[in-house]
Amino acid sequence: MDILSHGLWGGLLLGRTNKKDFWAAFAFGVAPDLFSFGIFTAMTVLGLVSGPDWSGGPPDPSAVPEYVHHLYNITHSLVTFVLAFGAVWVIRKKPYWPMLAWPLHILFDLPTHTAAFFPTPSLWPLLSYRFDGVTWATPWIFFPNWIALGIGYLWWFVHRKRISHAQIEKK
């Protein structure tokens, strides 16, 4: 799934209580891709390194630096998430629910990444199994995803306004 969709799903499903939780859930939704591909992408955009050719679709994975693959394994693992979520829970003495946008990202990636280009290592380092899905750029996945996001946000904004009006009428 594209990085923006991950953030928007995280915000929609886990950040509706207030703006702070929305942006936290959005950030946790994009974090796995940002922390794996972000450094390389920024360096490519700044002209510090040359990036692979994307004009014909996803490039050969060997054209992407090895450190990106390693970071991808770490950030796209439910094992890593459980350890991080547990550590935050221990430190805060309560769970931080917007963090659940991180495993949501991983679960969305499982069926929307192919074995040919960055399949999701959901149980790394325990298991090396990676599901061979269908690329998220396929029109029958890409467009319904954005339509569902649009419907979800429309519902949220309409529902939120109804609640606000009901609260004003009670006063």
Per-residue pLDDT of the chain (171 residues; tens, 9 = 90+): 999 999 999 999 999 999 999 999 999 999 999 999 999 999 999 999 988 888 888 888 999 999 999 999 999 999 999 999 999 999 999 999 999 999 999 999 999 999 999 999 999 999 999 999 999 989 999 999 999 999 999 999 998 766 555 555 555
Q: The tokens of 80 are what?
A: 């890593």
Give the per-residue pLDDT at 166: 54
Give the per-residue pLDDT at 92: 98
φ and ψ at 156, to 5 degrees?
-60, -50
Nearest to 103 by CA among 163, 45, 160, 28: 28
Give the per-residue pLDDT at 73: 97
Give the per-residue pLDDT at 137: 87
Q: The tokens of 59 are what?
A: 């490039």
Q: The tokens of 48 are what?
A: 């510090």
Give the per-residue pLDDT at 57: 81
Give the per-residue pLDDT at 168: 53
The verdict on pTM exceeding 0.75 is yes
Chain-centroid distance of CA 113 in Å reads 13
Sequence-distant (≥ 6) Cβ neighbours of residue 156 within 8 angstroms: 12, 16
- 136 in Cβ contact with 2 (< 8 Å): yes
